[in-house]
């Protein structure tokens, strides 16, 4: 029986390979480093001119596999980052000055996001909510004026 299963898997892989198509493009990754920039995963981002804005995500790497310890409050990204990749600089502003419900969503992990012109739309996300004192999937839609946000962050703390 094991041999039949192995043969079926091999046949499937071969058939998939034979039907594979060449992509009409190539992809090349180029490493970029900005000194002092914290590591963040599962964030939302927007762009204006040559600047990037990063919102939400986790700063502690992959979440732990213990349900009671996963997505703890300490690992939330509580800063909005603006990055100038060409000059290797970044600015940040803490979200603690915003209303609590906005702080919660803007520090969420894995928000869905889409930028349309200067507006970045953020939907959902998951994490610990200070408002409800529990982990939740956020049911909010937030619209962000990317150029205005970048200007406000740059006017704050620079690094």
Collapsing DSSP to helix, strand or coil, 86 comes out as coil
Residue 12 pLDDT > 80: no
- Which DSSP string corresponds to 47-80? EETTEEEEE--BSSSSPPSSTTTTT-GGGB--EE
| Confidence (pLDDT) at 4 | 59
Chain segment 78-128, per-residue pLDDT in tens? 999 999 999 999 999 999 989 988 998 899 999 999 999 999 999 999 988
Structural domain harbouring 131: 38-158
Chain segment 57-77, per-residue pLDDT in tens? 988 776 666 666 667 677 788
Classify residue 122: in a domain, yes or no: yes
Number of domains in the chain: 1
- Which DSSP string corresponds to 100-159? HHHHHHHT-BS-EEEEETTEEEEE--EEEETTTTEEEE---EEEEEHHHHHHHHHTSEE-
Classify residue 1: in a domain, yes or no: no
Give the chain's radius of gyration (CA, Å): 20
């Amino acid at each position: 029986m094991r041999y039949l299963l192995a043969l079926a898997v091999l046949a499937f892989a071969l058939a998939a390979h034979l039907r594979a198509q060449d992509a009409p493009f190539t992809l090349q990754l180029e490493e970029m480093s900005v000194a002092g920039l914290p590591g963040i995963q599962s964030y939302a981002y927007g762009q204006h001119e040559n600047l990037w804005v990063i919102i939400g995500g986790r700063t502690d790497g992959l979440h732990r596999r213990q349900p009671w310890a996963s997505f703890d409050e300490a690992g939330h990204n509580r800063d909005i980052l603006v990055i100038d990749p060409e000059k290797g600089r970044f600015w940040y502003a803490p979200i603690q000055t915003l209303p609590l419900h906005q702080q919660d969503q803007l520090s969420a992990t894995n928000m869905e996001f889409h930028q349309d012109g200067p507006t970045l739309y953020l939907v959902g996300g998951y994490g610990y909510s200070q408002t409800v004192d529990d982990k939740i999937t956020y049911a909010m839609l937030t619209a962000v004026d990317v150029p205005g946000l970048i200007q406000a962050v740059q006017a704050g703390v620079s690094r």
